[in-house]
Structures are given as C-alpha cells and as structure tokens.
Amino acid sequence: MLSKRDFFAIFLMMLTLFFIFQFSLVMKAHGNNFDVNEHVTEVELTASDVPVTESDKKVWFIGDIEGPVGDAVRQWCTYTRQELEVFSEIPAPTDKEVIEAIIFDPKTVDIKGKTSKLLKLAEMRSCMIFGDLPDAEYIDSDEDLKTLLGITKVVDPAVHVEGVQIFKGFLFGGETVYAANKKIPEESRFEDLDLDIAWYDTGLGTKTYIVGIMDEELVHPYDFPKMIWRSYYNGTFIYAVNGDYLQGMMGIGFLDAMLYDTKAYYIYPVVNANSIVFSDFPYLSAENSEKLKSIYSRNTETFQRDIAWPGIISMATRSEFSMTCFMSDRYDYTHDDEVSGDETRFYLQQMKELDAEAGRSLDYVGNISLADKSKLSRDYYAREGLNYQFRSLYLKEWKDELKQVLEEQETDIRTVVAGVRKNNQAISFCSENVTLQYATNKANEYSFKNDLLYKSLLTSLGYTNVLVDMNQVIWPQTEDDEWQNYFDHVFSYVTSYWSDRLIFDATTISESDARIRKMLSVKYDDEYSDENTIVLHSEGADENFFVLRLHDNEIAGISDNAEYTLIENDAYLLKVHPGDTVITLKESAKVYHYDGPFD
C-alpha cells in the first residue's frame, strides 16, 4: 500500500513528465516556421539566358528528327551544347567542319544500297553511330556494310535471349545484369527489354558494351549476341545499336557514353539533382470519402493522416530523399457540391520537420477550364491566409493552355512538373521564366527498362525525378491502387531502386529548378593544354556542375575555383565557379606497367 508521501512523489513525477512533453511539443510547434518555403532560391536566369549553340563542333543526324532516335539526339545536342544539323538522306562528306558524330536512324532513312556513301562518310574520321540496324537479312547480303559494322557473320536473324548484360565503364552504375530469376516467377514482370534480337558475330578489333545473355551450357559467354558494340574502320569508330536503346530520354546517356569512349577525356554539364514528388497529396478536401471508408473505415482526411502519412514519413526517413508534395485543394468539379476539410497547416508543419517542400497541384476533372482551376486554387490558399511561397505546380499531362495561365495568373510560379512526358526535353524552359521538369520514373513501376532509363539519366544529366501518384490511391480503380498494395511497391522500389546509388544530390523541386536554370544557361568550352592538363572555361551562374570522364587517369589537382568528387572509377563530379578551371591529371594507380625485359 502506497503512503501519502510516495503517492505525492509519483504524482509530482508524472506532472513533471507531462509538463516536459507538452512544453516540448508547444516549443516545437512554435519554432516550426511552416509558412516559409526555405527551398526557394532566386536564380535570375530565364529562357533568354540559354545560349544559342554556335559551336565549331557539329553533330549530323540522318533520319527523322521527330522519331524516337531523333528525340534522343535533339535533347543530347541541347544539353551538351553541340550544334545539330539534320539530313533526310545521306549527305556528301565535308572537310570544312569538325563533325563530332554522325548518327543514323535506319528506321527512318533508307541506307540500303547506299553503303558506298557510308564508306565515304567514314573517311571523315568522325564517330559514326547507327541508332538501330537494318534487318539482318539485308546486312548479311552487303559485305561492305558488314565490314563497316565489324560483323563477320549473321548467326541467326532472330534469336531470343534470356536477359541483358551491360559491362562496366559504359553507363554509370557499373556492370549490370537484367535477367529475371527463373526460381522467382514474380520477377518475370520486370522483363520489358527487347529480348528478341538478331545474333551477330563480330571480328577482332571490336569492343562490346552490351550483350544478350544465353544459356552458358549451350553458348560460351564470348559468343553471346551483341547488342551494342564498336568497330574500327579506316581510323573511324563505328557504333552499332542492335535494339531500341538509343531512343527518347533513355538514349541521351548512351550517346554520352559513346562519345566518351572516343575521347581522351569527356566533360559535360549536369544538373546534379534527384527528386521524389508526391502528386495530389495531401488532398485538402474530403473527396471520395465514401469509397475510402469502405476500404479503410476512414474518410479521406483520417486515411491520409493516420495511414498514408506515417508510411511516407517512414520511407522518407529510411531513404533520406528530399520530398516535394503537390497539395490538391480540390480535384473533382463534376458536381456543384462544396467539399469540406482543411489540413493545410498540419501538413505544412509536418513537411517543415522533414525538410520537405510543398507545391500546388492543378490536376482536376470537370467542366471547367485550366484557368478556372488555377483561380479557384489560388483563392483557396488566399482564404487560408498563408504566406507560403508555392513556386511549383503539378499537372499529370502538359497542356498548352498552361502557358497563358502562367503569364496571366501564376506569375510567381518558377517550375512545372508534368507526370507524363510528351515529345519534349526531359528538362527545359516552358516559358520565359518557368522551367518544365518531366517525371522520369513512376515510383510504383519498376522494370528493367525503367531501371536502365534511370541509370542513363544519371549518366547524362545527373538528374532524376521519381513520381509517387497519390491521385491513384485516393481514387482507386483496382485493388492494385489501394494503399496497402500500392505503397508496398513504392516503399520497396524507392528504398532499393529509386534511390541514387551514386553521389548526386537529393533535392526538392525548387532546388532542382535552380540547378536546371544554371545548367541550361552555362556557356563552356574545354581543351587539353598538354597531356596532363585540362582547362575548362565556363561562364554563367555562380556555380555549375560538370561530369568529367577519363581513361586510365585520375585527378591530381584542381584550381581554387572548383572542387571535385569521385563518382566511380574514371568519373568525377565537378563543382565549378565561373572562369578558367585548371585540372591536372596523373596516371591511375590501377594502370599496371611491365618495366622488365621482353624475351
């Protein structure tokens, strides 16, 4: 039995603990300056600051520039500041210009019966890239074309391979094998690379970067079907792509890898930004509550707060990514009923504690215009009396009418994220003062091709933008859309596949916007002043990021206006301030020499 003295001591202790916890929560809320967007950086660079490419180095593209290979080439030339010239048929060679690369799209330009013209172009000693190949039967009938491509034999015009292997030193991320484990049937859903290809044998002097995997008991690995390789013809590097790899956003990284392979060193600007965005989250109105109650026994507000948000916090804490949430004030305008609910301040406070950023979603359904949606959204936040700087918007699909809305109503917006990419650049200016960032991957959709796209974009731009589509969860159409199933995939893929495995920075969307403006606006050129020194001259913002890739060399030192970080073997991330950056090199410690006598 407790004495009065012991009871009073216990009471005081409990009262003290209660006061401490309550006081800490009050102080935490008081110190949470949630009404300020600390991720906004005012970078005064606009579309007018993007330099017009007038390089003494050109790229020739022969094919339909509107096709998927042309899409990759156009983006690549924009980001690497190379002047692009497009031809609808094979041009005559020239010796008056420096042509860095000649790229063909045999699917959109006919090269059959024109091998003599290709051989003439090869005499220019410019890197030649075949973004795809003619059919195997034709290649087998043209001995000169086979010689140009380094093909000694067409083993089989159509063979099925079990997977794809990328050798290290080509794309960032090292050696990668894309093959489903036969013992785990569920992994078959990841297989979306083209595994039905032509099987070519290549001769001496060729170098292979990607092969199709077959049963090693039946085929020696040395004889696996080649998917991307390089041949050497009369002093010219010839690259052959046997598949659909050199297309769209995915093709940019492959082009950078090929050009790097031809040079003593290769340097190009990158964004250095990796983002994860949550579209239409949180819903600030109680929409579709009846459906959510039937699934979770909670309305929209309590489902988000009690179920979805704790899972998101757990994932963010584990992966240490920088998150941007595009809040939806209202989505459904198919009826006139007002929808209630307001969690704005709660989520802004929560995001502040996670160092996350808030944006606004302009997604909607109903018989209103985008301009109407924009006005209704702005009015909603104005009524809340918030001073938060919403500088980013989200739309599932880019709409041309958004340009007028940005000019007339959304004048404080700096960047737009679009969930579905049309035939546009991965990153660009969509108006004079607004950048456009497309989602590069969906968080719940891992596949081999999506992983390869992710790896390619890290190689080419040091940039990714992974989308978690919460509209799909709030308005579920199938069981896969329900949170327990959807989030199971998202959590698994974000914490394993969609987390940058290199050293590029995690950023919110506004931080990505600032770096995109700098990257698109930088002017630069570089030269080998001697065999051990590279001089990079850059003009533009206060700082920019570049990737430097070397062959069997490493950085020995760099001038005071820059710093560097090793990405992986023979590749560095440079942080550079304007002016001349002098980079001194030394031979890599991994290069071995034999100094003894030869018998």
One DSSP character per residue, 28-55 reads HHHH--TTS-TT-------GGGSPP---
Query: Is 561 in the same domain as 482?
Result: no
Q: Is residue 102 part of a domain?
A: yes
Give me the pLDDT at residue 17, please. 56
Name the 3-class secondary structure at 462.
coil
Residue among 475, 459, 399, 404 nearest 251 (CA): 459
Residue 452 token pair = 């390869």
Q: Is residue 24 part of a domain?
A: no
Domain finish residue from 494, 516, 538 = 516
Query: Is 576 in the same domain as 446?
Result: no
Parallel, antiparallel or unpaired: strands 544-550 and 265-270: antiparallel
pTM above 0.85, yes or no: yes
Domain count across the chain:
3
Query: Is 527 in the same domain as 510?
Result: no
Give me the pLDDT at residue 24, please. 40
Query: Is 351 in the same domain as 224?
Result: no
Domain finish residue from 232, 250, 267 = 267
Residue 551 token pair = 């062959």
**Domain with 199 in it: what CATH number?**
3.40.50.880
What CA–CA distances, in Å, run from 24 to 17, 18, 20, 28, 351? 11, 10, 6, 6, 18
**Domain with 570 in it: what CATH number?**
2.60.40
- Cα–Cα distance measured from residue 369 to residue 381, given in angstroms and rounded to the nearest whole number: 19
Strands of 226-233's sheet, edge to edge?
83-87, 57-62, 98-104, 127-130, 236-241, 226-233, 207-213, 163-166, 176-178
Q: Is residue 28 part of a domain?
A: no
Query: Is 66 in the same domain as 184?
Result: yes
Query: Is 320 in the same domain as 466?
Result: yes
Query: Is 179 in the same domain as 309?
Result: no
Q: Is residue 11 part of a domain?
A: no
What CA–CA distances, in Å, run from 406 to 363, 383, 403, 438, 520? 15, 21, 5, 17, 20
Q: Is residue 17 part of a domain?
A: no
Q: What one-letter code names the amino acid at 182? A: K
Contact of 281 with 470, CB cutoff 8 Å: yes
The pLDDT profile of the chain, 599 residues, written as one tens digit per residue, is 556 666 556 656 765 655 554 444 344 444 558 889 999 988 889 999 998 876 677 999 999 999 999 999 999 999 999 999 999 999 999 988 889 999 999 999 999 999 999 999 999 999 999 999 999 999 999 999 999 999 999 999 999 999 999 999 999 999 999 999 888 888 899 999 999 999 999 998 899 999 999 999 999 999 999 999 999 999 999 999 999 999 999 999 999 999 999 999 999 999 999 999 999 999 999 999 999 999 999 999 999 999 999 999 999 988 889 999 999 999 999 987 777 778 899 999 999 999 999 999 999 999 999 999 999 999 999 988 888 999 999 999 999 999 999 999 999 999 999 999 876 789 999 999 999 999 999 999 999 999 999 999 999 999 999 999 999 999 999 999 999 999 999 999 999 999 877 899 999 999 999 999 999 999 999 999 888 999 999 998 889 999 999 998 999 999 999 999 999 999 999 999 999 999 999 998 765 544 544 44
The sign of the torsion formed by the CA atoms of 402, 407, 413, 415 equals positive
Query: Is 257 in the same domain as 303?
Result: no
Give me the pLDDT at residue 16, please. 60
Give the domain range for residue 73.
47-267
Domain finish residue from 238, 267, 296 = 267
Segments in 299-419 forming alpha helices (H): 300-303, 309-319, 344-353, 370-383, 402-408
Q: ω into residue 282 within 30 of 0, thus cis?
A: yes
Query: Is 322 in the same domain as 412?
Result: yes
Give me the pLDDT at residue 422, please. 75
Bridge partner residues of 237 (DSSP): 232
Parallel, antiparallel or unpaired: strands 427-429 and 392-397: unpaired
Residue among 443, 401, 403, 402 nearest 419 (CA): 443
Q: Is residue 595 part of a domain?
A: no
Give me the pLDDT at residue 186, please. 83
**Domain with 509 in it: what CATH number?**
3.20.20
Parallel, antiparallel or unpaired: strands 127-130 and 98-104: parallel
Segments in 434-548 forming alpha helices (H): 448-460, 471-474, 483-496, 509-521
Parallel, antiparallel or unpaired: strands 196-202 and 151-160: antiparallel
Give me the pLDDT at residue 453, please. 96
Query: Is 309 in the same domain as 432?
Result: yes
Query: Is 576 in the same domain as 531?
Result: yes
| Residues, the chain | 599
Query: Is 206 in the same domain as 137?
Result: yes
Q: Is residue 346 part of a domain?
A: yes
Q: Is residue 8 part of a domain?
A: no
